[in-house]
Amino acid sequence: MITGVDLFCGVGGLTHGLIMGGVRVAAGIDVDSQCKYAYEKNNPCKFIERDVRDIQGDELRALWSGKTLSLLAGCAPCQPFSTYSRKGRAHRKDSKWDLVSDFGRLVRESKPDYVTMENVPQLLDHDVFEEFICSLGDTYHVWHKVVECATYDVPQTRKRLVLLAAKSGPIAVLPPSLTNEPATVRSAISHLKRLDAGTSDPSDRMHKACRLSELNLRRIRASKPGGTWRDWDKSLVAKCHKRESGETYPSVYGRMEWDDPSPTITTQCFGYGNGRFGHPEQNRAITLREAAILQTFPESYQFLPDNEPVRFSVLGRLIGNAVPVRLGEVIAETLTRHAANHVG
């Protein structure tokens, strides 16, 4: 048995996947108190509200308790490295970069049997990633690769950097199955209740769509799945797109396609104008529940208590920042198979 601690755990996407794949998770650690309800409601684990920079290795060892193989997992906040914040990033000092270094520090201090990190591919471009690998030293066999999540039954085109490290022998993520039909928007969300913009499903508060202005309603009615704003009548085109710089954002105000994966689910995925987040046929953006399902959270996953209002900005951030549950499951399956083959 492998017991894990999930750093930067958020609402539990990675934790939930690890559990589904056979890893016991003792605790998740995150500085954001808004993650606590969803994390503990859906996972049999303790949520520890702490800044990872204040955690020490002996605290992690106490959580593992030494009875099983140990795993330190996590996804340091990736905004400093993402394609949405590239401007000036090569010259900018962002304190969140230090969180990757603190992850490395905790590996050195706690010495787990396994390590896994998930992050945006752009992290590869930065010295902090090389420093993290160096921090693993000669103790670990290290593997890393940019993975297309859609090849692992995640119904979105989400590329993620996955790192695995093991003390006991070479390791690499399990290859994708070649027998399964690819997951699509249709297979993921077509069964959900039809909605208009600004309405919600009485049986599921998370299945709620943002309101649209009259202009944006006209725009989405003029949009076709997979199309762009270039298909619209000129009267509908936004001023920013008429400028030369706007030509590079064709997917903004776009609709998804039923029989393809969705685009990468971001923290702003509930907004029609924030990317290709229009529903394939209904005149609205995708709902919070649809976004969560595209992130492979179970449809029953509970994100907030009944007495708390649905806030798009908060829940969109929590869902968009999550590790897809299915990717966590693949990582767990890799680790458990490795342990069976390399650990006596």
Catalytic annotation present for 35:
no
Sign of the four-CA dihedral 96, 97, 101, 104: positive
Please provide the DSSP assignment of 2-24 as one string: EEEEEET-TTSHHHHHHHHTT-E
**Helices and strands (H, E) in the chain, number of each type:** 11, 9
Residue 278 is classified by DSSP as B
81, containing H or E segment: none
Instruction: Spell 157-183 as b/e; 16+ CB within 10 A means b.
Output: ebebbbbbbbbbeebebeebeeeeeeb
Q: In angstroms, rounded to a whole number, what is the distance separating the alpha carbons of residues 269 and 216? A: 16
Task: Calculate the alpha carbon distances from 87 to 71, 81, 95, 197 in Å.
Answer: 35, 10, 16, 33
Strand 159-166: give its sheet, edge to edge: 46-49, 24-30, 2-7, 69-74, 114-119, 159-166, 141-148
Among candidate residues 75, 78, 210, 269, the one labeled active-site is 78
Q: What angle do the packed helices 57-64 and 97-110 form, to 10 degrees?
A: 60
Q: In angstroms, rounded to a whole number, what is the distance separating the alpha carbons of residues 6 and 26? A: 8
Q: How many CB atoms are closer than 10 A to CB 121?
A: 16
Q: How many CB atoms are closer than 10 A to CB 241?
A: 19
Q: Which residues contact 79 (CB under 8 A, 6 or more apart)?
A: 85, 96
Q: Is the distance from CB of 8 to CB of 51 less than 8 angstroms?
A: no
What residues are labeled active site? 78
